[in-house]
């Protein structure tokens, strides 16, 4: 049994301690926002927050998350749309959408660490892969959020 704090709720799951956290979140807790991409921590589709840091859940054993705060895309915004999600919509970032939850989680961790990131900061932090190649729009969306809520029409619509 592994006890995990995920999105502010305690969960006790009957899994092997070395099971990747990705599969605990998806298969045992039903949190399908975290995606499987490469399985070797390269693509970033599985990015979540562990104690506020962006982490690739496909290579993190469930036991490593015990006693820590785990946040998935489902827990990023309380009762609505996070301002990054609104900026993603406004800047038309998603195409196929598969990588986007991981991208948003990486961007949220970046903005927590550096509220006004430079292009170089964004390039360094955003190591997630996007097959559709929306990197320019990702950067624009991050800068829009960093500039504040007044800069985002979509954020105004969703209260964010």
| Tokens of residue 100, six digits | 């986007």
Q: How many CB atoms lie within 10 A of CB 124?
A: 12
Q: Give the position of tokens 């301690």.
A: 17
pLDDT in tens, 78-130: 778 999 999 999 999 988 889 999 999 999 999 999 999 999 999 999 999 98
Q: Specify the pTM.
A: 0.89
Architecture of domain 83-158: Orthogonal Bundle (1.10)
Asked if the model's pLDDT at residue 159 lies above 50, the reply is no
Largest CA distance in the chain: 47
Architecture of domain 2-76: Roll (3.10)
Give the C-alpha separation, 7 to 11, whole Å. 10
| Spans of all domains in the chain | 2-76, 83-158
Give the C-alpha separation, 136 to 31, whole Å. 28
């Amino acid at each position: 049994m592994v006890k995990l704090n995920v999105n502010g709720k305690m969960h006790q799951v009957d899994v092997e301690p070395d099971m990747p956290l990705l599969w605990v979140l998806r298969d045992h807790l039903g949190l399908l926002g975290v995606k499987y991409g490469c399985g070797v921590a390269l693509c970033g589709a599985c990015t979540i927050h562990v104690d506020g840091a962006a982490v690739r859940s496909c290579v993190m054993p469930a036991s490593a998350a015990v006693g820590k705060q785990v946040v998935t895309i489902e827990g990023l915004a309380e009762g609505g749309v996070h301002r990054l999600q609104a900026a993603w919509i406004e800047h038309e970032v998603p195409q196929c959408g598969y990588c986007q939850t991981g991208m948003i989680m990486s961007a949220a961790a970046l903005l927590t660490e550096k509220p006004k990131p430079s292009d170089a900061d964004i390039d360094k932090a955003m190591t997630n892969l996007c097959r559709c190649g929306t990197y320019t729009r990702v950067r624009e969306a991050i800068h829009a959020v960093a500039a504040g809520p007044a800069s985002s029409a979509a954020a105004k619509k969703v209260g964010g």
